[in-house]
Each structure stands twice: as C-alpha cells, then as structure tokens.
C-alpha cells in the first residue's frame, strides 16, 4: 500500500505535505471512476499538466515541487444510523492543496465516487484555478462518499452537520482558514446547514457566515451565484472565439456565436446555465446528454423548455421534436462547433478522442479531457479551452459572496441610487443642450438604472473572465504553447510571486 494511505487510520487522519509521486499511480479502496485504459488517474493528470507547464517557467525544481504537492488532507470515517436502523460507515475527506493565500477555497461534493485521489486532484486544480482568475485563495476540496439519492432530507442534514463538526474540530473550516462551497450533489441547502453548524461553535464571530459560500440569499448568499459557473463558461468561450486568429485556427468561419452549434454533456447546474446563455446569444443547442440518455435536434432546442421537461419527466428522452440517443456518450461524437463536457472527469480519452468532431472543446467540468486525448486533438486543430480557466466562474462569484459576508453589506446598496441620480442628471443635461426630445420612460430607465447586486456580480465575473482569457492567449502566443499549458504557466508564476518572500514556500 502507498505510504500515504497507511498513515490514514480508519477513524481520522491528518497529513502534512502529502507528497504523491506522479510515477506511482494510487489505488483507492473507496471506489471512484476508473481511469480510461492506460490513462493516468485524475491526480496524476493534474500533475502531468503542471509538470508540462513548469518547463516553461524560470523556477527551480525544488520550488516548483513545493507548489505542486498537497499541503494537508483530512480523512474521516464515522458511523451513521439510518431511519430503518441500518448502520452505515460514512467516509469523508477535505484536502487543502496550498496555503500560499488564505483562506483555502473549494467545493464539497456528495457522490459514491468520492475518494482521496479525486479530492486531492480537485484541490490542486482549485489552487491553479484561483490563481488564473486572480482570486486570492488557496485551493481546497472536500467530499462525502455517499449517494445522496439513498438518503432523505433529514438524514442528509445529519450527515452534513456531522461532517461540518469534523471540519470544525480539526480546524479545516473558517472564514480565514478554509471556505467550502457547493459541488456535485450539493447546493444552497447543504451550505446553509454547514453555516449554521459552524456558527454554533464560532463564539459570537460576526463573520461566521463567511465560513462557506453558495448559501441561499436569506442566509448570506449573493445574487448571481447559481448561474456563475455556466455564465463563466459562456464568457470564456465568447472571448476566445472573438479573436479572428484563434477562430480561424479551429475552423470557424467568423467570430460571432450566432448560429454556432453546441453539444452539452451534463445538464445540471453548469450545463443548463451554459446552454441558456449560449442559446440567448443565438447559438443552436443541438444535443444534450445526461447519464441516462441524450437528445438531438438539428434545428436546436430551448434549454428552458428542456429543463422543464426534465423536471417533469425525470429524463430528457421524449423531449418534443428531438431524437433519442440511447448511449449518451455518443453525443460527444456529434459534429458541432462547440462541445461542452460539463459532467465529470476523463470523458474524452485516447480510446474515443478520434471520434470527436467538434471544433472547440469547452471544459465545463473538471478534467474531462485526458492528456493523451488532448495531445491528439490539438494536432487536429481542435481548440481546447481548459477547465482551470473556463469553469472558474463559480469560485469567482464565491469570492464576491465571501467579500459580501465580511463587509456585511449588499453589493449596490450604498451607491446604486447615487449612480442613478448622476446618470439622470447627465441625461437631462444632454436633452437640454442637444435639443433632443425627451426620452421614453423605457429608454430612460435602461440608461439611468443603477447596478443591483446581480448586475454587479455579472459585471465582475465578465471582467474577470475577459482578463484571464487575454492573459492566457498572450502567454500561449508568446511561448507557442496550447491554452491549458499557458493557463498553468500563468498560475504557477502568480503563485510563485505571492509565495516568494511570504515564508510559506522556500526559494
């Protein structure tokens, strides 16, 4: 057994600087999706991408190794008694990859596939993701190895609160320590349970709500968080394809999104919102795949109608006007302009990458394309927009929520009316001096209305994605490397700039 695993007892284990050599892939008894045949596991995938990018930086190997390794991991097991009397042993994890900035930040997922390797990989990716979009957090990730569909709401609440208690006891949660967020299988409900549990132990800390993000609005959440990741995917794709050189390289005829065909794998929070924003921009959503089947319509489908159908029927199959695709994986191989894998890791691998007919792969999920698949697809002229940049919308808006909780004021509350007053005066002045007729009520409202919280959050996210895309493009062209490697190069350099002189990482 790998030495890391031998140090994790069946009760509770805490690892300091968990070093995992890329040459020795780990095996985990806790389950999880097996990597594609002959492919590295997810953690080794992230390490491979890091090592590839590190070769394009000026930093010494020892310094880079300190950035690469996971700082600490908490692994816990606790008994849980279900209502029917059955006793389950719940396995749960929290990994903190980097403390070069505090707090650490990363989601918590509920899935039967949760395992140590996956959590450590996602925590590592989170560090680089935050750096790419200039969010001042270290990376973290957590998960509970359960199928949430097998538990009712009361049972899920008890499990979530017990997990939070473990985090509190081991100092793995707090506004300035480690701030979780929603991920696969979790949402605002679970985050509110975490917040209330933490607050019970926070001894009157007025910033206690900042211990977690992705909360409901009434519990300190921020407007715009639900759609943040999907909206970030849309902004990122739009910005990459707005460049004529990049659009031409991947075979697109122009830089407009209007009329572009889109295929999505995964129609959860990320997939739905990405589909909605692409549809609103004039794209045609020609196929959507879920684990239990996919649907195709060459003329395009309305995401809102598709979501309503799914919520009513529990499946996409049978959506009016669509053709069913029995094997949902086959949707990945449809001819399209933009393919958005927004489900799980390692969906496009060396065993199926030659079937891909998309011009652009936009990674809505974490790690959906393996290194071998990427190597082949890049030779075919496919543009791959990497996960650590493209799906960073969630953590960006989580950052805004964290700031809101610390400042104790809603975005726009202080300055919105002042902004509207100034705009109204400007409009009135222009009407008088230019001799124009008075604007209609609707036109005036469109010009004068100040930014509310949702508009300000969307604006901040859009600016963040535009800056990150431009930085990635510049690095890619300067060093003649692909976008993923360029994003990692930028992340490593930013982490290095912060860590040097901080005492967290030794030069």
Residues belonging to the active site = 141
b/e code 259-274 from CB counts within 10 Å (16+ = b): ebbbbbbbbbbbbbbb
Helix (H) or strand (E) holding 370: none
Beta carbons of 188 and 108 less than 8 angstroms apart: no
Q: Are 495 and 135 in contact (CB under 8 A)?
A: no
Orientation angle between helical segments 42-54 and 371-379, nearest 10 degrees: 50
Task: Copy the structure tokens of residue 490.
Answer: 């930028």
Rounded Cα gap, residues 264 and 268, in angstroms: 10
Q: Terminus-to-terminus CA distance in the chain, angstroms?
A: 32
Alpha-carbon span 196 to 393, nearest angstrom: 25
Omega cis (within 30) before 103? yes
> Are the beta carbons of 288 and 267 closer than 8 angstroms?
yes
Q: Computed from CA positions of residues 276, 278, 282, 285, in that sequence, does the dihedral angle turn out positive or negative?
A: negative
CA-nearest of 118, 119, 122, 126 to 101 is 126
């Amino acid at each position: 057994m790998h030495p890391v695993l031998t140090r994790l007892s069946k009760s509770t284990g805490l690892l300091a600087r968990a070093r995992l050599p890329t040459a020795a892939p780990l095996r985990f008894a806790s389950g999880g999706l097996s990597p594609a045949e002959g492919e590295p596991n997810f953690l080794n995938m992230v390490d491979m991408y890091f090592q590839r990018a590190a070769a394009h930086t000026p930093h010494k190997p020892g310094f880079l190794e300190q950035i690469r390794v996971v700082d600490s991991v908490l692994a816990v097991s606790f008994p849980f008694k279900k209502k029917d009397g059955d006793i389950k042993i719940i396995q749960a994890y929290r990994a903190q990859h980097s403390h070069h900035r505090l707090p650490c930040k990363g989601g918590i997922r509920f899935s039967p596939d949760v395992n140590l390797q996956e959590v450590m990989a996602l925590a590592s990716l989170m560090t680089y993701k935050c750096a790419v979009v200039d969010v001042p957090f270290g990376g973290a990730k957590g998960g509970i190895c359960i199928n949430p569909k097998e538990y009712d709401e009361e049972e899920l609440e008890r499990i979530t609160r017990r997990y939070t208690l473990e985090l509190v006891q081991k100092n793995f949660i707090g506004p300035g320590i480690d701030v979780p967020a929603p991920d696969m299988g979790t949402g605002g409900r679970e985050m509110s349970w975490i917040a209330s549990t933490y607050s019970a132990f926070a001894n009157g800390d007025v910033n206690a709500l900042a211990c977690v993000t992705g909360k409901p609005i009434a519990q300190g959440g921020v407007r715009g968080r639900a759609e943040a990741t999907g909206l970030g995917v849309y902004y990122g794709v739009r910005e990459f394809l707005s460049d004529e050189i990049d659009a031409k390289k991947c075979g697109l005829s122009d830089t407009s999104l209007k009329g572009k065909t889109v295929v999505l794998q995964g129609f959860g929070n990320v997939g739905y919102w990405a589909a909605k924003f692409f549809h609103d921009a004039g794209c045609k959503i020609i196929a959507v795949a879920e684990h239990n089947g996919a649907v195709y319509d060459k003329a395009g489908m309305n995401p809102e109608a598709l979501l309503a159908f799914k919520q009513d029927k529990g499946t996409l199959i049978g959506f009016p006007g669509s053709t069913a695709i029995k094997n949902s994986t086959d949707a990945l191989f449809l001819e399209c302009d933009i393919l958005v894998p927004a489900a799980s890791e390692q969906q496009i691998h060396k065993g199926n990458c030659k079937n891909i007919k998309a011009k652009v792969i936009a990674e809505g999920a974490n790690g959906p394309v393996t290194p071998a698949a990427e190597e082949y697809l890049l030779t075919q002229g496919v543009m791959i927009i990497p996960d650590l940049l493209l799906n960073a919308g969630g953590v960006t808006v989580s950052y805004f929520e964290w700031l809101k909780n610390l400042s104790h004021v809603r975005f726009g509350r202080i300055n919105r009316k002042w902004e509207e007053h100034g705009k109204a005066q400007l409009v009135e002045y222009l009407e008088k001096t230019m001799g124009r007729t008075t604007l209609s009520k609707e036109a005036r409202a469109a010009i004068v209305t100040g930014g509310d919280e949702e508009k300000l959050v969307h604006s901040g996210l859009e600016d963040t994605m535009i800056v990150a895309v431009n930085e990635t493009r510049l690095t890619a062209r300067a060093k003649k490397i692909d976008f993923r490697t360029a994003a990692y190069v930028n992340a490593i350099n930013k982490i290095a700039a912060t860590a040097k002189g901080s005492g967290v990482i030794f030069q």
